[in-house]
Amino acid sequence: MNCLAFVPSKNGQATKAGLEAVSYAKQCGAAVTAVMVGALNGDGGAGAAGATKVLHVSEELHDEGQIAKVVSAAAEAAGADWVVAPHDHVGRAVAPRVAVRLGAGMVPGVTGLLEGSTVKRNVFSGKAMAHVDVKTAKKVITTTPNAFGVAGDGAAAAVESFAADAGEARLSVTGFEPSSADGSVPLPEAVRVVSAGRGLKGPENWGIVEELAQALGATTACSRPVSDMGWRPHHEHVGQTGITIRPDLYIAAGISGAIQHLAGVNQSKVIVAINTDPEAPFFKAADYGIVGDAFEVLPKLTAAIKSMG
Ligand SMILES: Cc1cc2nc3c(=O)[nH]c(=O)nc-3n(C[C@H](O)[C@H](O)[C@H](O)COP(=O)(O)OP(=O)(O)OC[C@H]3O[C@@H](n4cnc5c(N)ncnc54)[C@H](O)[C@@H]3O)c2cc1C
């Protein structure tokens, strides 16, 4: 089974979500060829994640219609039975166009491995799982970021330059600006996350969360009720119906640890829960638990981190 993985890159390196797409295909048992567009350092990290070859399109392309044309051509050239892309802002726009070009059935945002022709995805805002049977010979899949992780033990991939007619650009990106004013890493890529819930009582109290995040070089997140009530922006909501994250460190203050919250964070390497209630469910999922008041514990943690230099 041959798979072509579309791997978005930044500054010549594959994005984490792109590498997850490669690892996903490898875990499904496929021989994986990656296609990468624009500047590239070496193999961009795709080999370690499981690709044996990288088809490199050196042209900088920002129009997803153009990217879809070269990805479709690469899929044909690689004799791919299926194409995988991350379900991020680029993959989401490229994959459906590739599916149309290849006459393939497409499943977006999968959360399970492709087994034969069936694959699992969340539906109805995470309230149910659909098992989808893809009936076409060729298939296109996008992977939910942070649902699968990245295997990092493969060898470097062979890099071949690849050219295909991308056609005329129908749009151009005139500039980029960071969405967070503090320049913190976007949640799906964050290595450290400090998160808080309804236990913080109100948006006016988020200063202590932000101060700890800043001291740790972490990104802030929140539980769903907090974003539903407008205390924090929706892009900070983690969990079954929000963003799935996989940081090295997840600190949760004043969050009960409901199953729907844990679904989006329980792949974190180290979980620290801070809660006044010793019976809070989060303590069962946490590596470290602090039974205490977030209003006392968070400033103490911040001071301790700062004192470490
Ligand atoms: C279909 C569905 C999907 C859902 N999806 C999500 C999702 O994606 N993400 C999500 O987060 N939720 C989701 N939920 C909601 C989820 O079930 C919980 O209701 C929610 O996670 C609870 O948020 P919370 O822990 O902030 O608030 P609460 O449940 O109110 O918990 C607050 C916690 O703070 C503690 N606390 C209070 N004061 C302090 C203090 N001073 N210091 C320390 N601790 C304190 C309390 O002991 C308590 O444990 C979903 C629910 C459904 C039905």
Average pLDDT in the 17-27 region?
97
Average pLDDT in the 254-275 region?
95
Residue range 198-224, pLDDT digits in tens:
999 999 999 999 999 999 999 999 999
2-161: in CATH 3.40.430.10:
no
Residue 266 near ligand 1, beta carbon < 6 Å: no
Residue 255 near ligand 1, beta carbon < 6 Å: yes
Residue 197 near ligand 1, beta carbon < 6 Å: yes
Q: How far apart are CA 45 and CA 51, in angstroms?
A: 9
Among 243, 251, 260, residue to substitute to test ligand 1 (most atoms within 8 Å of Cβ): 260
pLDDT value of position 309: 74
pLDDT value of position 125: 66
Q: Answer whether residue 115 shows pLDDT above 80.
A: yes
pLDDT value of position 128: 82
Tell me if 2-161 shares its fold with 187-307: yes
Residue-averaged pLDDT of the chain: 94
pLDDT value of position 123: 82
Residue range 82-101, pLDDT digits in tens:
999 999 999 999 999 999 99
Ligand 1 center to residue 185 CA distance, Å?
A: 24
pLDDT value of position 154: 81
Would you kindly state where each structural domain of the chain is located, as residue ranges? 2-161, 187-307
How many residues can be counted in the chain?
A: 309
pLDDT value of position 181: 64
Among 146, 238, 240, residue to substitute to test ligand 1 (most atoms within 8 Å of Cβ): 240
| Confidence bin at 80 (pLDDT 50/70/90) | very high
Nearest CA to ligand 1 atom 6: 260
Residue 241 near ligand 1, beta carbon < 6 Å: yes
Give percent above pLDDT 90 in the chain.
87
Among 123, 194, 224, residue to substitute to test ligand 1 (most atoms within 8 Å of Cβ): 224
Residue 50 near ligand 1, beta carbon < 6 Å: no
The tokens describing 165, both together, are 């007619």
The tokens describing 197, both together, are 């819930």
Residue 120 near ligand 1, beta carbon < 6 Å: no
Average pLDDT in the 10-36 region?
96
pLDDT value of position 189: 87
Residue range 140-192, pLDDT digits in tens:
999 998 889 898 788 999 999 999 999 999 998 888 877 666 677 889 889 99
pLDDT value of position 76: 97
pLDDT value of position 54: 98
Structural contact between residues 82 and 116, judged by C-beta atoms closer than 8 angstroms:
no
Tell me the whole-structure pTM to 2 decimals. Answer: 0.80
CATH fold of 187-307 reads Rossmann fold (3.40.50)
Residue 225 alpha carbon, nearest atom of ligand 1: 23
Ligand 1 center to residue 130 CA distance, Å?
A: 26
**C-alpha distances in Å from residue 60, one per residue of 42, 106, 169, 176, 285:** 17, 26, 11, 15, 44
Residue 193 dihedral angles phi and psi, to the nearest 5°: -135, 130
Ligand 1 center to residue 252 CA distance, Å?
A: 10
Q: Residue written as tokens 């991350």?
A: 86
Helix (H) or strand (E) holding 226: helix 224-228
Q: Answer whether residue 30 shows pLDDT above 90.
A: yes
Residue range 232-251, pLDDT digits in tens:
999 999 999 999 999 999 99
The tokens describing 254, both together, are 């004043």
| Confidence bin at 264 (pLDDT 50/70/90) | very high
Nearest CA to ligand 1 atom 14: 260
